[in-house]
């Protein structure tokens, strides 16, 4: 059971143990600048609207990486008087904003592709353009894999959204390269704008998926069942010793897991012993789920009033 000062201290310690994620955001920024330049050159050399759509998405990558850097810095600011639960949900805003930027990029791609449907343009310098585009794709793939590993290790929603966005960029780039290559062999210029529109549709799907997951986080959805099972595995053995619990509530706020519960102890239990049990249980939950802030409340198991709040929490 945590007093306010102790809760703030343990909350801050939890953040400190996760380390800074800013270097990963900077890596994403550098990659976005590099791929934006390479894909822009490829689009200019070939005149392909498909490759142009790929270059336009790199602008989204850059904007998303800059926003992720800002939000990751904000997310680790310790709780204060006006924000007693901290700033960790800032990561969700980054992911939602990235989804919006993805949708805007899709509209820009469609706007560039539609005129080419009615007036197809020849594509030039196939070899050089495709080679440059593939080099940019390789950069995105490498950075995406690094970000994905980091997001799983640190439970960062912002990095996960950035990683999946880059991976979608990789697949769309491969599709565009194959499509442009097909144009070189078939001479069907109409394929170029059609590829661009197809990429835009895929980007829309990616943007909606990123936004949906982030909005669930803002709605304080409970932890996954596998993590709830880990919490129950800590609590259930105590029932054999005469202790019980209820009003278990969980949620995730960015990289933090938040767990609250009421512990039911025999009324004759001393304050000292009750506090010891609460601290022990909290520590075991944190050991089972690193990066978790746990708040417990003690109640006498024989008192009917102890169970009224159970209905309230439901």
Q: Of 259 and 148, which is predicted with more confidence?
A: 259
When mean pLDDT is compared over 22-26, 166-170, 259-263, the highest value belongs to 259-263
The pLDDT assigned to 296 comes to: 93
Q: Of 212 and 10, which is predicted with more confidence?
A: 212
Q: Report the 10 Å Cβ neighbour count for 171.
A: 15
Q: Of 93 and 9, which is predicted with more confidence?
A: 93
The pLDDT assigned to 121 comes to: 64
Superfamily covering domain 4-218: Cation efflux protein transmembrane domain (1.20.1510.10)
The pLDDT assigned to 314 comes to: 53
Q: Of 206 and 288, which is predicted with more confidence?
A: 288
- Please report which confidence band the pLDDT of residue 262 belongs to, taking 50, 70 and 90 as the band edges: very high
Q: Once rounded to an integer, what is the mean pLDDT over residues 41-70?
A: 74
Q: Which residues of 245-282 are buried (b: 16+ CB within 10 A; e: fewer)?
A: bbbbebebbbbbbbbebbbbbeeebeeeebeebbeebb
Q: Which fold has domain 225-313?
A: Alpha-Beta Plaits (3.30.70)
The pLDDT assigned to 279 comes to: 94
- Please report which confidence band the pLDDT of residue 49 belongs to, taking 50, 70 and 90 as the band edges: low
Q: Once rounded to an integer, what is the mean pLDDT over residues 222-251?
A: 89
The pLDDT assigned to 312 comes to: 55
Q: Once rounded to an integer, what is the mean pLDDT over residues 237-255?
A: 85
The boundaries of every CATH 3.30.70.1350 domain in the chain are: 225-313
Average pLDDT value for the chain = 77
Does residue 8 surpass a pLDDT of 50? no
Let me know: does 137 contact 177? Beta carbons within 8 Å. Answer: yes
% the chain with pLDDT above 90: 15
Q: What is the pLDDT of residues 104-125, one digit of tens each?
A: 777 777 776 677 677 766 665 5
The pLDDT assigned to 26 comes to: 83
Does residue 67 surpass a pLDDT of 70? yes
Does residue 14 surpass a pLDDT of 70? no
Phi, psi torsion values for 24, nearest 5 degrees: -70, -35
The pLDDT assigned to 233 comes to: 93
The pLDDT assigned to 16 comes to: 44
Tell me the CA end-to-end span of the chain in Å, nearest whole number: 22
Q: What is the pLDDT of residues 136-192, one digit of tens each?
A: 888 888 888 888 888 777 777 777 777 877 777 787 777 777 777 777 777 777 776
- Please report which confidence band the pLDDT of residue 39 belongs to, taking 50, 70 and 90 as the band edges: confident
Instruction: Please give the structure tokens belonging to residue 240.
Output: 């054999």
Instruction: Please give the structure tokens belonging to residue 195.
Output: 């590829």
The pLDDT assigned to 282 comes to: 94
The pLDDT assigned to 300 comes to: 93
The pLDDT assigned to 5 comes to: 41
The boundaries of every CATH 1.20.1510.10 domain in the chain are: 4-218
The pLDDT assigned to 124 comes to: 59
The pLDDT assigned to 101 comes to: 75
pTM: 0.59
Q: Report the 10 Å Cβ neighbour count for 114.
A: 13
When mean pLDDT is compared over 38-42, 216-220, 300-304, the highest value belongs to 300-304
């Amino acid at each position: 059971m945590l007093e306010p000062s102790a809760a703030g201290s343990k909350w801050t310690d939890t953040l400190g143990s996760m380390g800074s994620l800013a270097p990963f955001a900077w890596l994403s920024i550098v990659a976005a600048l590099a791929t934006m330049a390479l894909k822009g050159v490829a689009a200019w050399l070939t005149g392909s609207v498909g490759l142009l759509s790929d270059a336009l998405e790199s602008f989204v990558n850059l904007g998303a990486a800059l926003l992720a850097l800002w939000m990751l810095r904000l997310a680790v600011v310790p709780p204060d008087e006006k924000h007693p639960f901290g700033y960790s949900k800032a990561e969700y805003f980054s992911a939602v904003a990235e989804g919006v930027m993805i949708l805007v990029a899709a509209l820009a791609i469609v706007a560039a592709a539609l005129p080419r449907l009615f007036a197809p343009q020849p594509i030039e310098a196939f070899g050089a353009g495709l080679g440059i585009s593939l080099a940019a794709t390789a950069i995105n793939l490498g950075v995406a894999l690094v970000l994905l590993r980091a997001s799983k290790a640190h439970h960062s929603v912002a990095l996960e959204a950035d990683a999946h966005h880059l991976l979608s960029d990789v697949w769309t780039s491969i599709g565009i390269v194959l499509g442009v290559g097909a144009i070189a062999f078939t001479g069907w210029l109409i394929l170029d704008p059609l590829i661009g529109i197809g990429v835009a549709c895929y980007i829309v799907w990616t943007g909606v998926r990123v936004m949906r997951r982030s909005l669930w986080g803002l709605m304080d959805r409970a932890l996954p069942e596998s993590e709830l099972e880990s919490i129950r595995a800590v609590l259930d053995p105590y029932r054999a010793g005469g202790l019980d619990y209820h009003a278990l509530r969980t949620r995730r706020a960015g990289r933090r897991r938040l767990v609250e519960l009421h512990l039911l102890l025999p009324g004759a239990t001393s304050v000292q012993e009750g506090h010891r049990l609460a601290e022990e249980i909290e520590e075991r939950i944190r050991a089972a789920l690193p990066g978790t802030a746990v708040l417990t409340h003690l109640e006498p198991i024989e008192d009917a009033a102890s169970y009224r709040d159970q209905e309230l929490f439901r």
